[in-house]
């Protein structure tokens, strides 16, 4: 990653040397994202779409975590 981009959503699955799975999510808050984007560039037309995608990813990530827990228990 360079200074011209930033991660706003990620889902990682890692495995430890003991064989344990680690699920990590990083997700920008859609409200904070919208505020930040509106301050940076109020003319940017895709802000609402990306904010909606962040809300969608939140639900998907939660479902992925729940399903993963079911599979490993």
Query: What is the rounded radius of gyration, in angstroms, for the C-alpha atoms of the chain?
Result: 16
pLDDT of residue 1: 61
Task: Name the band, by pLDDT with cuts 50, 70 and 90, for residue 2.
Answer: confident
Q: Does the pLDDT value for residue 73 go beyond 90?
A: no
**pLDDT band, residue 72 (cuts 50/70/90):** confident
Phi and psi at residue 26, to the nearest 5°: -130, 125
pLDDT digits (tens, 9 = 90+) for 4-50: 899 999 999 999 999 999 999 999 999 999 999 999 999 999 999 99
């Amino acid at each position: 990653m360079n200074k011209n981009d930033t991660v706003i959503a990620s889902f990682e699955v890692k495995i430890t040397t003991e064989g344990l799975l680690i699920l990590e999510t990083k997700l920008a808050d859609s409200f904070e994202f919208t505020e930040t984007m509106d301050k940076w560039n109020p003319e940017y037309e895709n802000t609402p779409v990306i904010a909606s995608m962040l809300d969608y990813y939140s639900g998907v990530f939660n479902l992925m975590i729940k399903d993963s827990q079911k599979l490993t228990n």
